[in-house]
């Protein structure tokens, strides 16, 4: 199948709707996660006599994870006053906020963040090549960042979608980075296929564990990696694609969204194959399009074009510079049973 073009923009339309794709800080309370983490990862007798981790908050050096041997070494001490954002639960630490790095943490390894006064702030994934030098895993000083911790975060994210989303959606964003306490990780599910993007050093380090947990928890049958975004280079990471768990995905996966159907190419399409995060915006366009003439610029595979048609638009002009993207858009219109005669398909640079 001909590869679709790679671009850095987000599809838009004549309707001025802001995408809901910004990642907010981690604000959810961690008390429930703390109890689970302590119960699932702390071995009896590990560390001190009280059962606490070997290294208490504020101490430097290394500690070895009792469950899987993962070494957590080093700590980051922030400049005076730069702890304020972390105290407000912002999940990033920029390079300019760091006073010093103690120890020799490797890329993606877990480090402890401390204020100048020695106060523990968070555990984070270290990224020596990025301006975002550390991305927070947990603000809980009792947390143990290991496979069980990450599997628990993943389960909570998947369970949350199951509670709030109707069953009619075949394409779902299961994990949205820091919003779900998994910095740098995006996972979209298309039917029984999950597509994972890892865009940070911490996500890269735990990629295989997360992929295995997805299948073990019954979330999907296969996991395919699409870690090929340019942002990886800012983290010192090379692009990666390919099957992580299970067999290769089919050439196209049919997913339905309301009355629309999309034939998704997860191996060559943009992002993870489709703009799952624009579902609400497509619904807004559909509601506003009745008996209107709609311009869809950078139409890609027709997400907003189909939404406008499904909403009763009298005519849609869909413009894209890629012939293969327009071909896929027409195929999606046919799969949805929509009238293509109401669309002017224009190949051109908007």
Domain boundaries, the chain: 31-51+59-138, 147-245, 253-347
**Distance separating alpha carbons of residues 314 and 124, to the nearest angstrom:** 52
pLDDT (tens, 9 = 90+) of the chain, 350 residues, equals: 555 555 443 333 333 333 333 344 444 444 444 444 444 433 333 333 333 333 333 344 445 443 343 445 799 999 999 999 999 999 999 999 999 999 999 999 999 999 999 999 999 999 999 999 999 999 999 999 999 999 999 999 999 999 998 777 899 999 999 999 999 999 999 999 999 999 999 999 999 999 999 999 999 999 999 999 999 998 999 999 999 999 999 999 999 999 999 999 999 999 999 999 999 999 999 999 999 999 999 999 999 999 999 999 999 999 999 999 999 999 999 999 999 999 999 999 98
Structure letter (DSSP) for residue 176: E
As its CATH architecture, domain 31-51+59-138 has Roll (2.30)
Is it true that 31-51+59-138 and 253-347 share their CATH fold? no
* Residue 285 in tokens: 């366009």
* Residue 151 in tokens: 């599997």
Distances (CA, A) of 148 to 24, 142, 209: 24, 14, 9
**Out of 3.30.565.10, 3.30.750.80, 3.30.1490.20, 3.40.50.150, which CATH number does the structure's domain 147-245 have?**
3.30.750.80
Instruction: Give the number of other Cβ atoms within 10 Å of residue 209's Cβ.
Output: 18
**Out of 3.40.50.150, 3.40.50.10470, 3.30.70.580, 4.10.410.60, which CATH number does the structure's domain 253-347 have?**
3.40.50.150
Q: Quick one: which of 266, 89, 250 has its CA closest to 187?
A: 266
pLDDT, residue 168, reads 72
Instruction: Give the number of other Cβ atoms within 10 Å of residue 137's Cβ.
Output: 24
| Separation of first and last alpha carbons in the chain | 25
Q: Cβ distance 131 to 95 under 8 Å?
A: yes
Rounded to two decimals, what is the model's pTM?
0.79
Q: Quick one: which of 179, 11, 155 has its CA closest to 92?
A: 179
**Distance separating alpha carbons of residues 296 and 293, to the nearest angstrom:** 10
Q: At a CB cut-off of 8 Å and minimum separation 6, what does 38 contact?
A: 142, 144
Q: Coil, helix or strand for 330?
A: helix
């Amino acid at each position: 199948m001909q590869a679709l073009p790679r671009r850095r923009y987000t599809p838009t339309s004549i309707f001025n709707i802001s995408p809901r794709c910004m990642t907010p800080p981690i604000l959810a309370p961690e008390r429930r996660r703390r109890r689970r983490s302590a119960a699932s990862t702390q071995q009896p007798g590990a560390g001190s006599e009280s059962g606490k981790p070997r290294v208490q908050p504020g101490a430097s050096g290394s500690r070895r994870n009792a469950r899987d041997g993962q070494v957590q070494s080093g700590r980051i001490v922030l400049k005076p006053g730069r702890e304020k954002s972390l105290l407000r639960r912002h999940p990033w630490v920029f390079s300019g906020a760091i006073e010093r790095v103690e120890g020799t943490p490797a890329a993606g390894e877990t480090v402890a963040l401390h204020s100048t006064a020695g106060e523990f702030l968070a555990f984070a994934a270290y990224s020596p090549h990025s301006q975002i030098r550390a991305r927070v895993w947990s603000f809980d000083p009792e947390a143990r960042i290991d496979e069980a911790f990450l599997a628990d975060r993943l389960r909570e994210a998947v369970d949350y979608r199951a509670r709030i989303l109707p069953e009619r959606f075949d394409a779902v964003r299961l994990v949205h980075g820091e919003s779900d306490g998994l910095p740098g990780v995006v996972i979209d599910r298309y039917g029984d296929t999950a597509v994972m993007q890892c865009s940070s050093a911490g996500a890269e380090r735990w990629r295989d564990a997360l992929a295995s947990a997805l299948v073990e928890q019954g979330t999907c049958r296969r996991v395919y990696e699409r870690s090929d975004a340019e942002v990886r280079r800012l983290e010192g990471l090379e692009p990666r694609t390919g099957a992580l768990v299970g067999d290769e995905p089919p050439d196209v996966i049919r997913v339905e969204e309301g009355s629309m159907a999309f034939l998704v190419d997860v191996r060559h399409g943009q992002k993870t194959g489709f703009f799952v995060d624009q579902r609400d915006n497509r619904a807004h366009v559909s509601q506003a399009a009745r008996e209107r003439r709609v311009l869809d610029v950078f139409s890609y595979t027709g997400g907003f074009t189909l939404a406008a048609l499904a909403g009763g638009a009298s005519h849609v002009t869909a413009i894209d510079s890629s012939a293969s993207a327009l071909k896929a858009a027409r195929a999606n219109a046919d799969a949805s049973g929509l009238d293509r005669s109401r669309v002017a398909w224009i190949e051109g640079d908007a």
